Amino acid sequence: MGLRAATRGAPPRSPLLARPQPARGREENTGHVTRKRDFVDLHVFGAGRRGRGPGEGGDRWRPPVLPLSCVLQVKSEGPKLVPFFKATCVYFVLWLPSSSPSWVSTLIKCLPIFCLWLFLLAHGLGFLLAHPSATRIFVGLVFSAVGDAFLIWQDQGYFVHGLLMFAVTHMFYASAFGMRPLALRTGLVMAVLSGLCYALLYPCLSGAFTYLVGVYVALIGFMGWRAMAGLRLAGADWRWTELAAGSGALFFMISDLTIALNKFCFPVPYSRALIMSTYYAAQMLVALSAVESREPVEHYRLSKAN
């Protein structure tokens, strides 16, 4: 009785003195509880999920959750890209004049793309053989290097050859990105942007370039659509490789539009620096998107069979 009375008459305990409870793991909709250290909260401005918390009367904002394995995977790719960054620095430091093309300048310009070949091969030949999308990106990089070599000699009449090589590159990239999800709204936006770019270039074009540039703009617009179709910045389905693919396509479009404006319309200030910086960034991001390949070969064969 004395103990009960003492307990009954004791003042309520202040919440400030309450011992903090250890953080519990998040419970996902997958039916199991995961540990807290297996996830990293990615706070993206303007992006997130809204959900109803326990005991709350309204919705609350939840940041998208990025698995820690993805963060570690991004960090692990850095050392493999060191040769690419060094080769890119060599190109910009030497800055060989484009008015006197040579095999040395061709090698220096193509060297960063060669390093991206090595970047994909560093994941193993078995990885490329098991993932058709990664293989297509590798083949696209091969055609890109050939296109770079032709563009070094464009004043000698090889501009069209380079244009055709990069057109093939975009077809391989679009095939690697796949047709799922379809994302018709994204396709409509890319179609409008491609049409505006061609309308800007059309008054400056003549002869066969009127049709060649039109086909090329359509191809790179299609590639950009497929690269951005799977882009999701919020939710549990967020993947950094999709962001790399979409960003790479955007940089590629900026680079090629600058080439076209500088060649057909008017001189663009610092055009070479703008073209090459966005071009190398685009190729690096597209190569990175192959790391988390979209479909293993067995899934690819099943989709073909169906």
Provide the pLDDT for residue 233.
67
Q: Among 28-42, 140-154, 243-257, 291-305, which is the least confidently predicted range?
A: 28-42
Provide the pLDDT for residue 271.
96
- CB burial of 269-302 (b: ≥16 within 10 Å; e: otherwise) equals eeeeebbbbbbbbbbbbbbbbbbbbbeeeeebee
Q: Is the pLDDT of residue 2 over 90?
A: no
Among candidates 129, 205, 108, 116, which has minimal Cα distance to 169?
116
Provide the pLDDT for residue 149.
96
In one-letter notation, the amino acid at residue 215 is V
In one-letter notation, the amino acid at residue 243 is L
Provide the pLDDT for residue 235.
60
Q: What is the pLDDT of residues 111-133, one digit of tens each?
A: 999 999 999 999 999 999 999 99
- How many percent of the chain have pLDDT more than 70? 69
| Mean pLDDT estimate for the chain | 80
What is the distance between the alpha carbons of residues 219 and 198, in angstroms, rounded to a whole number?
12
10 HSE (CA, 13 A, CB side): 9
- How many percent of the chain have pLDDT more than 90? 61
DSSP helix/strand/coil, 239: coil
Q: Among 34-38, 198-202, 254-258, which is the least confidently predicted range?
A: 34-38
Beta strands 59-62 and 39-41, pairing class: unpaired
CB 227 within 8 A of CB 182: no
Q: What is the pLDDT of residues 77-121, one digit of tens each?
A: 889 999 999 999 999 999 999 888 999 999 999 999 999 999 999
Average pLDDT over residues 239-255: 93
Provide the pLDDT for residue 70.
57
What is the distance between the alpha carbons of residues 226 and 131, in angstroms, rounded to a whole number?
18
Provide the pLDDT for residue 98.
85
Alpha helices in the chain (DSSP H): 2-9, 68-77, 82-94, 103-121, 125-130, 132-152, 159-177, 184-201, 209-229, 240-260, 271-289, 297-305
CB 201 within 8 A of CB 153: no
Q: Is the pLDDT of residue 15 over 70?
A: no
Secondary structure string (H, E, C) spanning 112-144 = HHHHHHHHHHCCCHHHHHHCHHHHHHHHHHHHH
Q: Is the pLDDT of residue 208 over 90?
A: yes
